[in-house]
């Protein structure tokens, strides 16, 4: 018979002594919220100030309690955690705020009948006055702008991707970090920083000089956009090509494969997922550009399916003109509703492109598995 002596367990193990209880942050948070509300009530309550004051109180309270119970090392850890989480929330705030504002203001415009299928052709101030004064539905839509945005972005992509990808291939595979390669890298960096309006002016001036004064078409806008896109494509493709292991290139060379075939058949397929998502992000970057399109494609109220002739609308310029020059100056509300609707569509487009980039990256990613 053996009997084991089980020592009477104290409530908390000796190893966890000197720690704050698990519920500590929640208690401090509740206290901070209550005290914060009380302080704010004295000087006039508002939600933003409540959040700030509570956050400061929470940090001070938790860190102070920690110093007393746990000592300075743990307290520093808690302070750092509070700062990191706080910064994250501050960074998140504008994003959520933007999405919320656009959703609230944009949904009425988006669900208005014919918003996605009609243009603004023939929509005059009289209709908008009627909509406000008599409650008639808001008519007019963004079809023409959607067509313009899609076409211009597509042409810009068709121009930028080959130029950008080939530049990246030169830099990584053939440049050898020589003088030309370094010069290209430098100018690509400079191009990344070009203000978009300057790109627009360049494209406009270029076409004025080559085709004729006053040339404003979707294609000119596409050239302006591609000036903005090319550096992004070069940069992202270059990074992706660089991380392809050199061993794969050597493996191909050792099989007696020529360099250009190695690049096409081994290097690019290995990097394609990163390249594709880089291109998609570059598209997302330029799809919302306003200034270069205003000076290169003008703005239109009717549908123009020809990128190479006539002024063309796009979503950003549509928003710009609807807000700045409402269709009915006396009653700008319908115009502003359309502008917010267009903004919502633009955000959805960008989001779809980002999701598309992830999807592409997953589809093309080198397959693993047994």
Partner 1 sequence: MSKRIDVKDLNVYYGDFLAVEDVSINIEAKSVTAFIGPSGCGKSTFLRTLNRMHEVLPGARVEGEVLMDGDNLYGPGVDPVTVRSQIGMVFQRPNPFPTMSIRDNVLAGVKLNNKKISKGEADVLVESSLRSANLWNEVKDRLEKPGSGLSGGQQQRLCIARAIAVEPQVILMDEPCSALDPISTLAIEDLINDLKDQYTVVIVTHNMQQAARVSEKTAFFNIAGTGKPGKLIEYGNTQTIFNNPAVKATEDYVSGRFG
Residues that bind partner 1 (CB under 8 A): 176, 245, 247-258, 261-262, 265-266, 269-270, 366-370
8 A C-beta contact, residue 204 and residue 216: yes
Backbone angles phi, psi at 195, to 5 degrees: -60, 140
Pairwise CA distance, residues 335 & 328, whole Å: 8
**What is the closest distance, in whole angstroms, from the C-beta atom of residue 181 to partner 1 in the complex?**
12
Q: How many CA atoms lie within 13 A of 198 on its CB side?
A: 7
**What is the closest distance, in whole angstroms, from the C-beta atom of residue 173 to partner 1 in the complex?**
11
Give the gyration radius of the chain's Cα atoms: 29
**What is the closest distance, in whole angstroms, from the C-beta atom of residue 260 to partner 1 in the complex?**
11
- Judged by beta carbon, residue 73 or residue 370, the one nearer partner 1 is 370
**What is the closest distance, in whole angstroms, from the C-beta atom of residue 364 to partner 1 in the complex?**
9
- Judged by beta carbon, residue 258 or residue 362, the one nearer partner 1 is 258
8 A C-beta contact, residue 317 and residue 295: no
**What is the closest distance, in whole angstroms, from the C-beta atom of residue 304 to partner 1 in the complex?**
42
- Judged by beta carbon, residue 9 or residue 370, the one nearer partner 1 is 370
The total of other beta-carbon atoms located within 10 Å of residue 177's CB is: 9
Pairwise CA distance, residues 314 & 225, whole Å: 12
8 A C-beta contact, residue 157 and residue 232: no
- Judged by beta carbon, residue 170 or residue 206, the one nearer partner 1 is 170
- Judged by beta carbon, residue 189 or residue 250, the one nearer partner 1 is 250
- Judged by beta carbon, residue 176 or residue 325, the one nearer partner 1 is 176
Pairwise CA distance, residues 292 & 83, whole Å: 40
8 A C-beta contact, residue 103 and residue 344: yes
**What is the closest distance, in whole angstroms, from the C-beta atom of residue 262 to partner 1 in the complex?**
7
């Amino acid at each position: 018979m053996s009997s084991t002596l089980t020592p009477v367990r104290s409530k908390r193990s000796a190893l966890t002594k000197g720690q704050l209880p698990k519920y500590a942050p929640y208690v401090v948070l509740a206290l901070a919220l209550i005290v914060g509300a009380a302080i704010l009530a004295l000087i006039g309550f508002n939600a933003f100030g409540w959040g700030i004051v509570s956050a400061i109180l929470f940090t001070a309270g938790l860190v102070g309690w920690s110093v007393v119970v746990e000592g300075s090392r743990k307290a520093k850890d808690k302070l750092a955690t509070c700062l990191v989480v706080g910064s994250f929330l501050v960074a998140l705030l504008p994003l959520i705020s933007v999405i919320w504002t656009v959703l609230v203001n944009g949904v009425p415009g988006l669900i208005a009948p014919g918003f996605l299928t009609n243009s603004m052709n023939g929509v005059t101030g009289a209709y908008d006055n009627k909509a406000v004064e008599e409650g008639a539905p808001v008519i007019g839509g963004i079809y023409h702008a959607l067509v313009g945005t899609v076409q211009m972005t597509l042409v810009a992509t068709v121009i930028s991707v080959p130029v950008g990808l080939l530049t990246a291939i030169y830099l990584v595979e053939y440049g050898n970090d020589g003088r030309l390669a370094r010069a290209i890298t430098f100018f690509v960096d400079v191009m990344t920083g070009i203000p978009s309006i300057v790109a627009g002016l360049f494209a406009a001036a270029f076409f004025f000089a080559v085709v004729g004064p006053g040339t404003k078409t979707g294609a000119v806008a596409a050239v302006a956009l591609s000036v903005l896109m090319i550096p992004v494509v070069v940069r992202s493709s270059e990074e992706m090509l660089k991380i392809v292991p050199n061993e794969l290139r050597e493996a191909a060379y050792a099989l007696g494969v020529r360099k250009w075939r190695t690049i096409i058949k081994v290097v690019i397929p290995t990097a394609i997922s990163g390249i594709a998502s880089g291109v998609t992000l570059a598209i997302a970057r330029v799809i919302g550009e306003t200034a270069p399109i205003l000076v290169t494609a003008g703005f239109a109220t009717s549908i123009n399916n020809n990128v190479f002739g006539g002024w063309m609308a796009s979503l950003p310029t549509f928003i710009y003109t609807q807000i700045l020059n409402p269709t009915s100056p006396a009653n700008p509300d319908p115009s502003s509703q359309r502008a917010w609707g267009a903004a919502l569509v633009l955000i959805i487009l960008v989001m779809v492109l980002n999701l598309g980039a992830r999807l592409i990256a997953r589809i093309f990613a080198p397959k693993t598995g047994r």
